[in-house]
Structure 1
Amino acid sequence: MAKLRVIVSGGGTGGHIYPAMALIKRLKERDMIEDVLYVGTEKGLESKIVKQAGLKFKTIEISGFKRKLTLENVKVMQLFLSSIGKSKKIIKDFKPDIVIGTGGYVSSAIVYAAHSKHIPTVIHEQNTIAGVTNKFLGHFVDRIAIAFKEAQDQFSEKRKIVFTGNPRAQEVVGIKPNDRLSEFGLKPGVPTVMIFGGSRGAAPINKAAISAMEKFSKENYQVLFVTGRVHYDSVIEKIDKKYINSENISVLPYIDNMPEILPDINLIVGRSGATSIAEITALGIPSIFIPSPYVTHDHQTKNAMTVAKNGAAKMIPESDLTDELFFDEINKIMNSDEIQSEMSQASKKIGVPDASDRLIKVLTDLVK
């Protein structure tokens, strides 16, 4: 078939942006793109990420609706209507074969505008609980791609739903074990647990990890503790230097290109965002999830429960997290090859290593 002209839109959080970028990367690898345009907002995280990737980038001005009825929603509606007008112009100028939205309110205008101009449209929902934008767009788009089968209950038009998994999974599945752990003062090939609360870090997780340093220093496995840039200085002040300099502990603010080290990790402890789960299950890594209770619709808890019920992870609600429980759960898994093997096998059963190709099939079926 002829190469595609594609518009992709998603923003607000990395959970919406990284799957979009992974899809674009795979389309390029398969030499299926004539041209691609990313539509976002100037203030959103997508502005930085997409520009750094060297992709064509257009912006629209739009904001999300407030969950309560307020006068501010009148302004939001005005912005939405004007952004549809600008989106129609972007579509007219670019002439896409298909438009894909990966979530975040920025995708609402461009996807809706494409629908109104009878251009094939697809949305991708990464979480078990669908976002407001995708729920709205679900009524208009041609296909709804989901990363968790549990998400199908969030949409009324079942005939549109296709299970594809998260494109981020296919991006990491080809990564092989390497010696990057040596960059952080750890030994490649030694069993390693990574504790990571997200790019900004998570104070409750950091607190529990700090309390466990003395116990970790006596174990035969390694600990890679990634605090988040915001918390790093305060964490370092609270840890006895002899543990920081221990041969089996490394404390860092952040790791660039983190997916590269995942094949060398035996256990991941952290939040349960959709992108993290896609990466973890694609590689079959056992995990302990401590979901953030502060995200919209508590979707991290729902994500974690979905993985945990299949035996691929343990879940500790943040309200139940104690220093003792934190260390005990890690220690139990890290000191048992049998538990690690069982969790890894369960994780791989959930993972979708061909997620991008599945989503690409959805696109090509629509534009035939």
Structure 2
Amino acid sequence: MSNFVISCGGTGGHLAPGIAIAEALQESGHHCRLIISNKDVDSRLVKNYPQLQYARSPGMGFSMSPVKFVKFNIEQIRALVFTMKLMREFKADAVIGFGGFLTVGAVFAAFLTGVPVMLHEANRRAGRAIRMLAGFARRVYLPPGVNIKGLPRRMIHHCGYPIRKEIQRMPQDEARAKLGLDVTGKLLLILGGSQGATALNTWVTDNFEALAKDNISVYCITGLNKTAGGAIERISSDGQTARAVFTPFVDSMAVALSAADLVVARAGAGSIAEFARCRLPSILVPYPYSADDHQMANAQFLEQQGGAMVVQESELDRLLGEVTDLIFNDWLIKRFRENLERLDRANPVDRIVKDMASIAADPA
């Protein structure tokens, strides 16, 4: 059995697949240490997985601001020293990085100590860290149809996004009961990713009166440090009570996804994969300032596959009409769910874990 270091902290989109891989590795008898950041989102998510072992690394995100750029480089040096010490003490056989600022130190530490490196890119446009570090890797896992210029094909394995095993669709009534939601009509989920989305949170408060008239309730996951929790109630046109519930975070995303009829969300790769797993149609509002506009690439791919609609943030004035048209269109919702089921047929976790184990066992 092998010892794996998994660099996956900083955002939910990096941490969640790292957890999925770590769980599968442990079930196969391997040992893991997950490198995470000191961010609140990491702390909140990992508390649900006490069976895994974590190491909090120094580090901060990249910035072109002169002062922050200096701090970034100092933190990268600290992260490199931290990771090299961790790898020596843990006797690491292999390292896998999921992108972000923590992966840089982990990969250089592995390179300097002769430990094989693997990288996973979830988005349909590879991020800066993955592109920069790909030349140090023995294997790079990319979404189907995505490549990195100049990278030999033998180094690439095309696969999907590793999803945590508890992300499974459950009966809608059961899910709503778990959330404590007593609603009779449609339920719209608003999800801005692990960091939240102020534009989507504001859209809910601005448009809830109109949604309530059609007996559409809202469950809005605002993001940590975005908006305090709370609830609004309104009487719909047929006398039913529609509710808007605001919560900073949910510990069970599968419950929230299963409770909803439709989700309006950012277009992170992890969110999209979980929508597919739970067969939840979506209207995607890509974050317009994402690196390399990768969220738009993610969203357009899912729309082309018939699993979502795309509305740009600059067009939020038409979002209300799109929501009400789609959420009551049973035929189109059914088609979306069928297409999401087709996209979710391949589970990449077992394939990735098997490949990782073979690389760790043969580091030459």
Amino acid in the other structure paired with 1:17: L
In structure 1, the gaps of 5 or more residues are: none
**CA distance in structure 1 between the partners assigned to 2:131 and 2:11 by the alignment:** 17
Cα distance in 1, alignment partners of residues 288 and 234 from structure 2 = 32
Q: Which residue of 2 aligns with 1:259?
A: 254
User: What's the TM-score, normalizing by structure 2?
Assistant: 0.84
Moved more, 193-202 or 4-13: 193-202
- Match among 349, 354, 364 for residue 356 of structure 1: 349
Q: CA deviation at 1:45?
A: 4.4
Structure 2 residue aligned with 1:144: 140
Change (3 A) 1:318 1:215: same
Equivalent-residue separation in structure 2 for 1:317 and 1:156 (angstroms): 32
The aligned amino acid for 1:107 is T
Distance 1:171 1:151, change over 3 A: farther
Please tell me whether the aligned partners of residues 170 and 354 of structure 1 are also in contact (alpha carbons under 8 angstroms): no
Which one of 110, 121, 127 corresponds to residue 123 of structure 2? 127
Segment drifting more, 150-159 vs 284-293:
150-159
Please name the residue that 1:111 is paired with. 107
Give the counterpart letter for 1:143 in structure 2.
Answer: R
Q: 2:90 aligns with which of 76, 91, 94?
A: 94
The answer to whether the aligner puts 1:309 opposite 2:307 as a matched pair is no
Q: Is the 8 A contact 2:45 2:251 kept in 1?
A: no
Q: What is the Cα deviation at residue 140 of structure 1?
A: 0.6
Deviation at 1:117, TM superposition (A): 2.9
* Separation of aligned partners in 2, 1:26 and 1:101: 16
Cα pair 1:100 1:122 within 8 Å, conserved: yes
What pairs with 1:1-368 in structure 2 (closer than 5 Å)? Answer: 3-28=1-26, 30-33=27-30, 35-42=31-38, 45-46=41-42, 49-50=45-46, 53-54=49-50, 55-67=52-64, 70=66, 73=69, 76-77=72-73, 79-81=75-77, 83-146=79-142, 148-153=143-148, 156-168=151-163, 170-173=165-168, 177=172, 179-182=174-177, 183-187=179-183, 191-199=186-194, 201-219=196-214, 222-228=217-223, 230=225, 232=227, 242=235, 247-254=241-248, 255-322=250-317, 325-351=318-344, 354-368=347-361
**Change in CA separation of 1:366 and 1:209 when aligned onto 2, cut-off 3 Å:** same
Q: Which stretch shows the higher mean deviation, 203-212 or 70-79?
A: 70-79
State the AA in 2 paired with 1:290. V
Q: Secondary structure at the match of 2:258?
A: helix
1: distance between equivalents of 2:190 and 2:78?
Answer: 44
**Residues 81, 231 of structure 1: CA spacing in aligned structure 2 closer, same or farther, 3 A cutoff?**
closer
SS at match of 2:163: helix
Q: Alpha-carbon deviation of 1:27?
A: 2.5
CA deviation after TM superposition for structure 1 residue 186, in Å: 2.8
Aligned length: 356
Give the distance between the partners of 1:46 and 1:220, measured in 2 at CA: 36
Task: Tell whether the 8 Å contact from 2:169 to 2:258 is kept in structure 1 after alignment.
Answer: no
Secondary structure at the residue paired with 2:167?
A: helix
What is the CA distance between 1:318 and its match in structure 2?
A: 0.3
2-side partners of 1:234 and 1:60: how far apart?
A: 30
Quick check: 1:129–1:154 contact (8 Å CA) kept in 2? no
Query: Could you say if the C-alpha distance between residues 199 and 16 of structure 1 is closer, same or farther in structure 2, counting changes exceeding 3 Å?
Result: closer
Identity score, percent: 26
CA offsets per residue over residues 280-322 of structure 1, 9 Å max, x none? 0122221001112133222222211111122211100001110
DSSP 3-state at the match of 1:130:
coil
Deviation track 1:243-284 (CA, whole Å, cap 9, x = no partner) reads 7x9534342224331222323322111211122111001222
Kept after mapping to 2: 8 A contact 1:196/1:269: yes
Q: By how many angstroms is 1:176 displaced?
A: 5.6
**Is residue 195–residue 270 contact of structure 1 (8 Å, CA) maintained in 2?**
yes
> What TM-score, normalized to structure 1?
0.83
**Does the Cα contact within 8 Å between 1:177 and 1:261 map onto a contact in 2?**
no
- The amino acid that maps onto 1:247 is T
